[in-house]
Copies of this chain bind each other. A is one copy, B any other.
Amino acid sequence: MGSPGDVLTLISAGSATTRSDLARLTGLARSTVSQRVDALIDCGLVEETTGGESTGGRPPRQLRLRTEDHTIAAVDLGATHCRVALTDLGGTTVATAEDQLQIAEGPQAVLTHVKKRVDELLGERTLTAIGIGVPGPVEFAAGRPNNPPIMPGWNDYPVPAFFPDVPVLVDNDVNLMALGEHRHAFPGTRHLLFVKVGTGIGCGIVAEGRLHRGAQGSAGDIGHIRVSGHEEAGCRCGNSACLEAVAGGAALARALGVESGAEVVALVQQGDVQALRAVREAGRLIGEVLAGLVNFFNPEVVVVGGLLSRVHDHLLAGIRETVYRRSLPLATQHLTIVPSRAGVDAAAWGAGILAREHYLSPDNINRLVSACEDV
């Protein structure tokens, strides 16, 4: 209470713009407010400028976060791509890059590439924190991928150690998509599910405005929930009738005799009736699983993203049909089911938000201030 981090929260939210505001809002003694503000200024987090409306005497000095002096790197690693975006502490994008990159090349090769790209984009700017999304489960507190099926060589690899000078936040890409979608498109909602329908199927969960990662960080792994009437469909996980094994992009491609989910999307866009029916039926199966999750979790919004959502008319029709048929009326009366608004940027957005919110959290600011005072 009343720590430098709490004071910074009030300044960065715009709730306090002067030392008087801070004294009033916190109940801290004026001398304590001055100590806190001076420490934040000394650390380069806050600046104080003259200006503001005069009330007769000297105009009060204004406090503001030095957003542009701090740069966040947001990194979205997919199976075959690497997107990097730099933003300032206010979330404004200052540079971006996108490359083809195989995550299966392993952490050394991939992170060396990421580091090089971030350094190039940075130029003279100072790096403040990095957020990284990866296509697999992550032990969030340690930043270590946890038996990720499509990331050979990454299991238990300590990603943050690769960037020793700044805080590094690593999370599953679907979690970051949920976070990005929530903060950008649905900031007023409390409970949101983001369903990614790509080669596989996953879900990110926002509960009370915060990511729900679960005990092992594996929350949202809905691709292996059983659907009824498909016992014949074996899944790569060793079970059968998993959602992903019948409704994921890879399963649809197999059923339609093409190579990839992207080709399924192309067929639907060409008006191929068989592909269209397959996507609609995949929507129904995803809807069957979501119907149960809507009863259980009672979200306000379900956002559908990922490759297959490019043909969302057909996918969402199937999902909505089943959710509205199988979920309880109380849980669906105000439920919104919509396609992703962030599209391909969702994971990078989320990675940047994760890193910014961590950097500006009171605990981190207090650590920075006390490290700064010790020098």
Residues of A within 8 A of B (CB): 1-3, 6, 25-29, 31-32, 137, 146-147, 190-191, 203, 205, 207-208, 210, 212-222, 224-229, 237, 239, 241, 288-289, 291-293, 295-300, 325-326, 328, 330-331, 333-335
List of B residues within 8 angstroms of A222 by Cβ: 292, 295-296
Query: Given A214-B331, A216-B298, A222-B295, 20 more contacts at CB 8 Å?
Result: A1-B27, A190-B215, A191-B214, A203-B296, A214-B299, A216-B334, A217-B298, A218-B298, A219-B296, A219-B297, A221-B298, A221-B328, A221-B330, A226-B228, A226-B326, A228-B228, A239-B325, A289-B292, A292-B293, A296-B297
A207 to B205 alpha-carbon distance, docked (Å):
11
B228/A215 in contact, CB under 8 A: no
What are 11 A-B residue pairs whose CB atoms fall within 8 Å in the complex? A1-B6, A27-B28, A28-B28, A137-B330, A147-B330, A203-B296, A207-B207, A219-B297, A224-B328, A292-B292, A297-B297
Secondary structure call for the A interface? loop
A217, A219, A237, most chain B CB atoms within 10 A: A219
Question: Which residue of chain B has the shortest Cβ distance to A332 in the bound complex?
Answer: B216
Tell me the complex Cα distance, A216–B27, Å.
Answer: 37
- Across the interface, name the chain B residue whose C-beta is closest to A217: B298
In Å, the complex CA distance between A15 and B290 comes to: 44
Is B226 touching A328 in the complex (CB atoms < 8 A)?
no
Closest 5 CB pairs of A and B: A214-B298, A29-B29, A228-B228, A225-B292, A219-B298
A28 and B25 in contact (CB under 8 A), knowing A292-B292, A296-B203, A330-B146? Answer: no
Query: Residues of B contacting A203 with CB < 8 Å?
Result: 296
Compute how far the CA of A146 lies from the CA of B331 in the bound complex, rounded to whole angstroms.
Answer: 11
Q: Is A297 within 8 A of B28, CB to CB? A: no
Q: Which residues of B contact A241 (CB under 8 A)?
A: 228
Known contacts A2-B2, A291-B226, A298 near B190 by CB under 8 Å? no
The answer, among B208, B219, B326, for a CB contact under 8 Å with A210, is: B208
